[in-house]
Structure 1
Amino acid sequence: MQTTGISYSETSVRGRSRPSSFRQRFKHSASWLKGVAVALTLGSLLSGCGVVNHMIYKTTGDVMQGFSRDHTIPYLMASGDLAMGCAMSEATAPLLMSFGRVTNEPDQLAVMLYLSAGGCAEEQGREHELAALAAMYERKGNAAEDAIIRQKRAYSLAAKRYLKGWQHHNTYYGEPGTGECPDFDDDMDEFIYFAGLLAGLQALNSEIQSTSSIGVPKNVGSVVARASSCLESDKWWGAPMALKATVWAMIPGAQPEGEDAFERLAMTDRMGDEAGVRLSHVFHAIAATNKGDEAMVKSVVRQHAESLKEQPANEDWAFVDAMATNMIIAISDRLWVENTGHRTPLGRLGTFWDDQKAEVETMDLDGLL
């Protein structure tokens, strides 16, 4: 009997033959099962690697945070190199802050990074301001306007960075100025607390300079003034009291009855001179500028220049003293550019364009007799 309609391709005889399609399906099923097994094995291994990697990242983050706080910051504070500190903060902030994704948020470190990075942007703003003043002195209106625009942009960036430092400060230490002071672990803990207060005050000042709204709380000045009471002025070169007195001088009604902001500033200036950390001079000059007292501003600049000759910078806090000098030079430069069109001449910090007296030639008349 002839069978039709079905065609087999046999590979053997006597009933042991199998259709080729069956064999292909079997091979396909075996390959699929093998692939699933490999996938499951790799998934398990990769899952384990993910856990291991997370542990490595967390450990690295904790080590980096601890090392930066205990060694990098103290090393930088003793260096006195402002440009290097500026470059370091801008370059490493994204790296160090990213460890907050795998371990605790580095709030303390963030205070220092954003305070320094904010100072970088503020320095650019001051440079643009000097360019604007020089252009106005030479009656170059378009150049002056362009420099003012660049100045406001730089101050806007500075305000954003300072504000981040202030926010991290509040996250770590709690809301400042509430009447309760934090329990500090060591001197560096206190210094970072003070740095956070500076960040808050600078955020407000930079926002004002930028003439734009960054979101800085408008009561930050009074909050900082109250929070500065948590620090001993005798220990910190008079700076906490100077900060508070500056707020008194700048905010109407902030000065307590019986207090005199400028007497306090004169006192803290002497403390800073003796300690070799002259940050109080900056606060004093800012308060005098806000008052519109140019004679007082000049006096503070002269005092700072004289102190630099008489008292070397504190070895542990040379960076802070250098920062104060840099800001005093900026204040001096502003006065010089406004009145002469150029900055403070090299080596003449503490002198001014109107100090020079006309030299009168004298003749020895006795020799003619």
Structure 2
Amino acid sequence: MPNKTNNGISLARITGVLVALVMLAGCSVNPLHKITGDVMTGYAEAENTPYVLAMTDVGKACSLGESVDPLLYSFSRVTMEPAKTGTLLSVLAGICMEEESQEQELRYLRADYEGNMNELRDAREAMQRRYGVTAERRERAFKRMLTGFSYEPTPDAECPNLYSDQDEITFLLGLVAGAQAVLNDGKAQGRADVSRQLAAQVERSTYCVDNEKWAGIPEGLRATIWVLLPDLKPDEVSADTWEVLARNRRLGVEKGLRIPAAFELMIAENVGRDETIAEVLAYLDKTSGDFEVWERYQLADRVAMRTVWAVSDRLWTREHGHRTPKNRFGETGTEADEDDSIDTEGLL
């Protein structure tokens, strides 16, 4: 009898364990995934985001955005959407696609320079497709930022609660992405269907962060949008829009972020203001020796300078059929006849 009782107790325990395992297999996956998602999101916001913003390798950073974004955002199926971290990831993914777009644009310009019509047509189509994807990724970054801060940028909206510098830079990067989405969709011939109303939402939202603290980015972004949509410029702003852009370009260099200079170049190229392009490129070249980057946000400065080089490369490709040569940054390619000799030893 004692053995039978012991066997009965053992059987009951085994049955209980099996039932528990079956129940766990059926219903514990989501709780486990939720915990994992919460941990990953917390780590990304607390540690990974500051680390990435201080990186200098833009290629690695943008690859991170493309590869990690689907993984991290898959946890939004079982827990809260990681919208703030997702803003940065989508911004990074947009950088990757923009670089692909710029490569196709240079191919288009070379084909135009050489008179190769078939190559030109193919490159133009490839360029527009990629700029469309770039616009989609940047619009997504903007929308994630709105979600992350529970913010609706209506004309009478109050500013969101921004509790830290990281909140403010995330908010700013989302705004920049929104403005870029409008410009990128223009180059895509409207393939992403980004509303120009988004630019107005960005413009009014830039007042939520301090311009002096953030190296002229908010006001520089506002002025960029004023060039696109002049009616948005407030009557009380008496300064010429291009003076506002130039002032914030200088402030950005002083504070260690050349993002406003990139804004100024992008919009000057967009409206064909060649004298401004030449002035900004020369200024950046002149100040490069004494420039001290804001180390916490080196990645943002590196990305801005890639935009600057992209504008320069397009100028040189239109004029000479190739990118900006070594030691010729700061020039537009029209200052003097170029020495076409090539150092073949340096190519080996």
- Are positions 1:288 and 2:268 aligned together? yes
Q: 1:74 to 1:217 in 2, by over 3 A?
A: same
- Are positions 1:210 and 2:188 aligned together? yes
User: Which residue is equivalent to 1:340?
Assistant: 320
Greater CA drift, 235-244 or 50-59: 50-59
Greater CA drift, 285-294 or 180-189: 285-294
- Are positions 1:219 and 2:197 aligned together? yes
- Are positions 1:352 and 2:327 aligned together? no
User: Which residue is equivalent to 2:173?
Assistant: 195
Q: In 2, Cα distance between the equivalents of 1:318 and 1:136?
A: 36
C-alpha offsets along residues 228-276 of structure 1, whole Å, 9 cap, x if unaligned? 0001011111001000011111213222232421111111111111111
Whether the aligned pair in 1 keeps the contact of 2:252 and 2:260 (CA below 8 Å) is yes
User: Which residue is equivalent to 1:236?
Assistant: 214
User: Which residue is equivalent to 2:108?
Assistant: 132
- Are positions 1:68 and 2:51 aligned together? no
Whether the aligned pair in 2 keeps the contact of 1:177 and 1:224 (CA below 8 Å) is no
- Are positions 1:297 and 2:271 aligned together? no
- Are positions 1:326 and 2:301 aligned together? no
User: Which residue is equivalent to 1:107?
Assistant: 83
- TM-score scaled to structure 2, two decimals? 0.87
Q: Give ranges in structure 2 of 5+ residues lacking alignment.
A: 1-13, 340-348
Q: In 2, Cα distance between the equivalents of 1:289 and 1:358?
A: 22
Other structure's SS at 2:231 match: coil
User: Which residue is equivalent to 2:121?
Assistant: 145
Letter in 2 for 1:197: L
Q: In 1, Cα distance between the equivalents of 2:333 and 2:91?
A: 34
Shift in Å, 1:217: 2.5
Cα RMSD, aligned residues only = 2.1
Q: In 2, Cα distance between the equivalents of 1:46 and 1:205?
A: 54
Letter in 2 for 1:250: L
Other structure's SS at 1:270 match: helix
User: Which residue is equivalent to 2:4?
Assistant: none
Shift in Å, 1:47: 2.0
Q: In 2, Cα distance between the equivalents of 1:153 and 1:79?
A: 29
Q: In 1, Cα distance between the equivalents of 2:18 and 2:138?
A: 47
Q: In 2, Cα distance between the equivalents of 1:77 and 1:172?
A: 18
Instruction: Name which one, 1 or 2, has greater alpha-carbon Rg.
Output: 1
Shift in Å, 1:177: 4.4
Q: Give ranges in structure 1 of 5+ residues lacking alignment.
A: 1-37, 360-369
Q: In 2, Cα distance between the equivalents of 1:358 and 1:89?
A: 39
- TM-score scaled to structure 1, two decimals? 0.82
Whether the aligned pair in 2 keeps the contact of 1:177 and 1:227 (CA below 8 Å) is no
User: Which residue is equivalent to 1:363?
Assistant: none
C-alpha offsets along residues 81-126 of structure 1, whole Å, 9 cap, x if unaligned? 1100111111111111111112111111111111111121111111
Greater CA drift, 79-88 or 204-213: 204-213
> What is the identity percentage for the equivalent residue pairs of Structure 1 and Structure 2?
33
